[in-house]
Chains A and B, each alone.
Chain A
Amino acid sequence: MNTTIDRLRLLLVKDYKLDPAALVPDAPLEALGIDSLGVAELMFNIEDEFKVTIPGDPVALKTVGDVVAYIDDLIATQQAGDAAGNVAALRAAPGQ
């Protein structure tokens, strides 16, 4: 299974035609041509790719590594949330 950075690389190569070799964790997003507005759009695409929901609160993401950490954090929190939700749903369903 691909790691988060692998999947993010694929997304950035496909949508932004970036050189995969340049997509190292320390690479600043601005230098890749992704400014704050571009980050807003990237978040939209990340929601599709990683099946997560980006909260409305703004976060400062400066580098590729920041984005990877942010995605991992969202996945961890939201999968934990889903699991809790499923358990609650099962408990609430009568006769199951």
Chain B
Amino acid sequence: MTRVAVTGIGVVSPLGNSADDVLARACAGRSAIHRLDAPFSRRLAGPLVASAQFDGTEHFDPPRLRMLDRVSQFACFAARQALAESQIDLTQADRRRIGVFLGTGMGGSQSSDDGYRSLYEDGSDRVKPFTVLMGMHNAPAAWIGIEHDLRGPNYTYSTACSSSAVAIGEASARIARGDLDLALAGGAEAPLTFGSLKAWEALHTLATIDAGDASASCKPFALDRSGMVLGEGSAMILLEAWERAVARGATILGEIAGYGFANDAGHITRPSVEGQAAAIEAALIAADIDPLAIDAINAHGTGTQANDGVETGAIKAVFGPRAARIPISATKAMHGHLLGAAGALECVLSLLAMQRRVALPTMHLQVPDPECDLDYVPNRVRECSAARTMISNSFAFGGANAVLVLRAAP
């Protein structure tokens, strides 16, 4: 099996649209969660979002832009960044051996929302001709392939909130097996529409607004946590067979060392300690490492009542008494829950944190929950020079648990 190097990182997120900006803001503990100021805000119980400051007109020609849902704009821009950073010369590559693996939970939800509005609210009998092309889940991956002439597998994964962790894991497995030379892998999500906010609200999973500070409304692992906040963006990384990356003198930013998946096969929403622990164990086995080798964890850490207690239990089940000494970061407190893009953004944050030799803070953890009694790096970034190997957890409705093992660059 070939080792899998990460040689490029691209990101569009509530914390910024470059790896440097995202890391700086995460280290500073500056949440991007804010009150949503939209015409429909008054019809939401808690109008909170984490939006990306991104204007597609700056990055795409008008005829192309007219065909791109916001989710595809994010993905294409993140993929461009990853390719640029890698300094890869695609003209020298066999394009049939370059894949695109992208996760998204809701696809082009803005285009779907617009179509429904014109039919049901405006009473029109006409829907825009591009509605299908913009709304389909595989559009972001397809556009990346078109933009860079990538002719290998072009796959879209939709396992709700673990979609992009699955995409990165599946891509890395193919590179490790030697099926592909290169892969752009990650996820994208643009779910901040009235329709999807109402749907998530109806599930009673969204946070209530913190009375003193709206940006502090998502409080993973805290006793006073009330739920998650939807975010938007994309993270894409370029994966490359290790020897190939070394041979061309690429800067290696980190390594995807293992990937594990375990399905709950239980309840459609209720998480399970067994399922989450099984995914962590599967990832450790795939990476061929002992639990002792894990120095830090990026938690799924949604800030919902259901997840955080169960995830704490799963970490204890795998790591035993040592669990209390592993720094655990829940960065969704700052960037919100990017759903299908969450796993990719958190993978990127983990790689960047190891590069910077820090453990990122779990913000807004002022009131400890006796049930969540591990080291969540509360409220302040921490120097963590020993952290060279991490896991990043992504757990999803449907019971789709995915875990990545990440290693710092040598």
Chain A contact residues, CB within 8 Å of chain B = 15-18, 32-34, 37-38, 40-41, 43-44, 47
Distance from B111 Cβ to chain A, minimum over Cβ atoms (Å):
13
CA distance A33 to B67 in the complex (A): 12
Specify which of A34, A43, A44 is in contact with B63 (CB 8 Å cutoff): A34
Determine whether B200 belongs to the interface, using a CB cutoff of 8 Å to chain A.
no
Determine whether B66 belongs to the interface, using a CB cutoff of 8 Å to chain A.
yes
Among the 9-residue stretches B30-38, B124-132, B166-174, the one with 4 or more Cβ atoms under 8 Å from chain A is B124-132
Q: Which residues of A contact B128 (CB under 8 A)?
A: 41, 44
Beyond A15-B66, A41-B66, whether A33 also contacts B61 by CB under 8 A is yes
Q: Determine if A17 and B62 form an interchain contact, defined as CB atoms under 8 angstroms apart.
A: yes
Q: Determine if B63 and A40 form an interchain contact, defined as CB atoms under 8 angstroms apart.
A: no
Q: How many residues of B contact A (CB 8 A)?
A: 11
Distance from A49 Cβ to chain B, minimum over Cβ atoms (Å):
13
Q: Determine if B62 and A15 form an interchain contact, defined as CB atoms under 8 angstroms apart.
A: yes
User: Which chain B residues numbered 204 to 223 have a C-beta less than 8 Å away from chain A?
Assistant: none
Contact with A along B60-85 (1 / 0, CB 8 A): 01111011000000000000000000
The majority secondary structure among interface residues of chain A is helix
CA distance A41 to B64 in the complex (A): 12
Q: Which residues of B contact A41 (CB under 8 A)?
A: 66, 128-130
Distance from B147 Cβ to chain A, minimum over Cβ atoms (Å):
15
Chain B contact residues, CB within 8 Å of chain A = 61-64, 66-67, 126, 128-130, 133
A-B contacts, 18 of them at CB < 8 A, read: A15-B66, A16-B62, A17-B62, A18-B62, A33-B62, A33-B63, A33-B64, A34-B63, A37-B129, A37-B130, A37-B133, A38-B66, A40-B129, A41-B66, A41-B128, A43-B129, A44-B126, A47-B126
The 9 nearest A-B residue pairs measured at CB: A33-B63, A17-B62, A40-B129, A41-B129, A16-B62, A44-B129, A16-B63, A41-B130, A38-B63
Residue of B nearest to A33 (CB): B63
Q: Which of A15, A38, A43 has the most CB of B within 10 A?
A: A38
CA distance A38 to B157 in the complex (A): 28
Q: Which residues of A contact B133 (CB under 8 A)?
A: 37
Distance from B118 Cβ to chain A, minimum over Cβ atoms (Å):
11
Excluding A32-B63, A33-B62, A41-B128, 14 further A-B contacts by CB distance (< 8 Å) are A15-B66, A16-B62, A17-B61, A17-B62, A33-B61, A33-B64, A34-B63, A37-B67, A37-B133, A38-B63, A41-B66, A41-B130, A43-B129, A47-B126
Distance from B24 Cβ to chain A, minimum over Cβ atoms (Å):
34
Distance from B146 Cβ to chain A, minimum over Cβ atoms (Å):
13
Residue of B nearest to A18 (CB): B62
CA distance A34 to B130 in the complex (A): 13
